Amino acid sequence: MGNTHIKIFDTTLRDGEQAPGCSMTLREKVRIAKALCDLNVDIIEAGFPAASQGDFDAVKAIADENRGPIICGLARCNPDDIQKVHAAVKGADKHRIHVFVATSAIHREYKLKMAKEEIIKSAVAAITLARELCDDVEFSPEDASRTELAYLAEVVTAAIEAGATTVNVPDTVGYTVPSEFDNLFRYLKKNVPGIDDITLSVHCHNDLGMAVANSLAAIVAGARQIECTINGIGERAGNCSLEEVIMAIRTRAEYFELETGIDSTRLYPTARLVAGVIGMQIPRNKAIVGENAFAHEAGIHQHGMLQHHSTYEIMRPQDVGLSETHLVLGKHSGRHAFRERVKELGFDLDEFETNRAFLEFKSLADKKKNMYDGDIEAIIMNAGSASSGPWLLKSMQVSSGTDQPATASITLVDEQNNEISETAEASGPVEAAFQALESATGVNLTLKKFELHSATIGDDAQGEVTVTVEYNNQPHRGHAACVDIVEAGSRAYLEVINRILRRRQRGMDKVAVEPDVNRVPI
Ligand code: KIV
Ligand code: ZN
């Protein structure tokens, strides 16, 4: 019997984070890396260290925590990138350098302006250097699916001879279809000497909605590593969705005869965590982790479900970590029950953070009839983002009506107990509150997007607001939740203002404000 284990290489923090609107702070990346460890992924691609100092620091912080999975960083085929990856990942006992260069005719001619032989030479030099630094080296011929098969086999042969231990085949632009990809993998298996001694990997983008199907075709044809992201986030239409590909392999085990080490009960909490961190809601009908994925509306379906769940259900909600009710704790729940639920939801809080979140939970439970998982998630997300000043929102009053302009008065307080109050008038309450915040702090932002989402069900649900603003021509995102949606929006706005002020205090305002500002485009 052949090798039936499929390694899961998660690239949420690299390819996922590269997508517009998905950038994360170092703290957020470390939090997600912990959740990926709990999910039991085999490899975490933590970033692209040469892209920016922020990327480097995040990869290093994740590697230095050394929690189990192989920690990997991405590099172009040049010594500086490779050395930076090595410096960032070497703190982890198990680490990997991932080098890539494009191989398709389109990329050779228009992007790289390099001949076929030059590309092979640069790949071989890069892999050789990476192997001097690290035993575990992955090579990716970018745009492999649009590369001539014979040339692709030549590149992969040279990569293996140079010491690559994993060869990854990317469908960079989401162009291939399952039968064609099957053919490509079988061709490589047949025509590349030594291919059975390395791990063959697949990396699919979702431009035509086939990333999961193409990844599955690749493992049937012999790939033993899948590169994917939580919620399928990534460039353009995203990457292969981790939760979908995992549940396909698990639910159709009798077909694939393959397995992964993923703890599927962590899928739902991890998906919610990532969605909350980047402020990108999961579509209701998203397979596996969408709100409707396990909801049965039609009468005929409900009737069948009552007779036996397998009539209309191919997976159990518990298998993906979805609790039956979502109705969790009440105001009489104790700290222990709260801590346990927080853990089940995929958060790893220290004692101080747990205590602070618990106090907020109690105070919210006094205001709300029912408390749900979404409330706990919102509290933790709030704490994660609003924890550092300089300014805290002490109080706010807002008035608005059909026949009058809206007015907002806010009072902010800093650590030294300095208070500042401002009032502003505008056509709506949110605009008035934002203007008052700007006058109080002296930071002027341009609002680009205001997204509101209900954290749970019920008329007393917390509103989760994500604001996207522009400052110094750079996008920034703030996130907060509160039962009062104007207050939630104001806290989200203040979160961005505080981040900018902190950078100013450190004298970095002109250098970079968000972690990805100086990022080198791949
Ligand atoms: O899509 C792609 O080709 C990539 C490579 C860098 C692996 O992300
Ligand atoms: Zn990619």
Which tens digit of pLDDT belongs to each residue from 363-394?
Answer: 888 877 777 777 887 788 766 555 567 999 99
**Gap between the Cα atoms of 288 and 267, Å rounded:** 8
Q: Which atom of ligand 1 is nearest to the CA of 142?
A: 3
Which tens digit of pLDDT belongs to each residue from 251-260?
Answer: 999 999 999 9
> Ligand 1 centre from 84 Cα, in Å?
18
Q: With 0-12 CB in 10 A as exposed, 13-18 as middle and 19+ as buried, what is 308?
A: exposed
Residue whose token pair is 């220290």 = 350
Which tens digit of pLDDT belongs to each residue from 48-76?
Answer: 999 999 999 999 999 999 889 999 999 99
Task: Give the pLDDT score at 333.
Answer: 78
Which tens digit of pLDDT belongs to each residue from 180-198?
Answer: 999 999 999 999 999 999 9
Q: In which band, very low, low, confident or very high, does the pLDDT at 514 lie, cut at 50, 70 and 90? A: very low
Q: Which atom of ligand 1 is nearest to the CA of 205?
A: 1
User: Which sequence spans correspond to the domains of the chain?
Assistant: 7-278, 299-381, 389-505
Q: Which of 266-280, 352-366, 406-420 has the highest mean pLDDT?
A: 406-420
Task: Give the pLDDT score at 231.
Answer: 97
CATH class of 389-505: alpha beta
CA dihedral sign, ordered 141, 145, 148, 154: positive
Residue 327 has pLDDT above 60, yes or no: no
| Range from 151-155, 158-162, 316-320 carrying the lowest mean pLDDT | 316-320
Pocket residue to mutate for ligand 1, from 22, 140, 227, most atoms within 8 A of Cβ: 140
If one counts every other C-beta atom within 10 angstroms of the C-beta of residue 89, the result is 29
Q: Three-class SS string for 125-170? A: HHHHHHHHHCCCEEEEEECHHHCCHHHHHHHHHHHHHHCCCEEEEE
**Gap between the Cα atoms of 23 and 279, Å rounded:** 10
Closest CA relative to residue 218, chosen from 188, 198, 250: 188
Dig out the tokens for 231 from the structure. Answer: 């919620």
Q: Give the rounded percent of residues in the chain with a pLDDT score beyond 90.
A: 63
17 in contact with ligand 1, CB cutoff 6 A: no
175 in contact with ligand 1, CB cutoff 6 A: no
Task: Give the pLDDT score at 330.
Answer: 72
Q: With 0-12 CB in 10 A as exposed, 13-18 as middle and 19+ as buried, what is 366?
A: exposed
Q: Which of 137-146, 265-274, 365-374 has the highest mean pLDDT?
A: 137-146
Mean pLDDT in residue range 210-217? 98
Q: Which atom of ligand 1 is nearest to the CA of 170?
A: 3
11 in contact with ligand 1, CB cutoff 6 A: no
CATH assignment of 7-278? 3.20.20.70
Residue 515 has pLDDT above 80, yes or no: no
Residue whose token pair is 């002296």 = 442
CATH assignment of 299-381? 1.10.238
**Gap between the Cα atoms of 137 and 100, Å rounded:** 11
477 in contact with ligand 1, CB cutoff 6 A: no
